[in-house]
Amino acid sequence: MDSFGGAVNNEKHLKMSTAITCSACAASCCQLEVLLMGDDDVPRYLTREDRWGGTVMRRLDDGWCAALDRETRLCTIYQRRPGVCRDYEMGVGDCLVEFVRL
Ligand code: SF4
Ligand code: SF4
């Protein structure tokens, strides 16, 4: 079973984590739903209302967030990116799943 549990796999996990960087990634996590919070200050044209009345980052037909530069794979609103994006940690947790997804 390929899991990150146990001492041996913890070592594997560590090696994988250190190899994972955003510059080596297809910005996989920018295909996830990003729910905006009260303090977020994102240009409105990049957002939409979800079915529950919340505000989320708008995604285009290709699945990526509308704020992502398609060529550089960089966030075009980095200084104003939502809290969810600020809190998303590279190399751990969900990132490990997203990094290998694309
Ligand atoms: S999935 Fe991880 S490595 Fe890829 S862009 Fe997001 S934080 Fe960076
Ligand atoms: S706001 Fe920026 S960091 Fe957040 S999902 Fe969109 S492109 Fe990615």
Is 45 contained in some domain?
Answer: yes
Is 1 contained in some domain?
Answer: no
The radius of gyration computed from the CA coordinates of the chain, to the nearest angstrom, equals 15
Q: Which of 16, 21, 25 to mutate to test the pocket of ligand 1 (most atoms within 8 A of CB)?
A: 25
Is 2 contained in some domain?
Answer: no
Ligand 1 contacts CB of residue 22 (under 6 A): yes
Read off the pLDDT band of 102 (50, 70, 90).
confident
29: three-class secondary structure by DSSP: helix
Is 90 contained in some domain?
Answer: yes
The number of the ligand 1 atom at minimal distance from the alpha carbon of 30 is 6
Write down the pTM of the prediction. Answer: 0.82
Helix (H) or strand (E) holding 6, with range, is none
Is 63 contained in some domain?
Answer: yes
Per-residue pLDDT tens for 22-35? 999 999 999 999 99
* Per-residue exposure over 12-43, b if at least 16 CB sit within 10 Å of its own CB, e if not: ebeeebeebebeebebbbbbbebebeeebebe
Within 13 Å and on the Cβ side, how many CA atoms surround 2?
Answer: 1
Q: Which of 30, 33, 75, 90 to mutate to test the pocket of ligand 1 (most atoms within 8 A of CB)?
A: 90
- CA pair distance 95, 32, nearest whole angstrom: 11
User: By residue range, what is the domain housing residue 71?
Assistant: 7-101
Cβ(48)–Cβ(55) under 8 Å?
yes
- Domain count across the chain: 1
Per-residue pLDDT tens for 61-73? 999 999 999 999 9
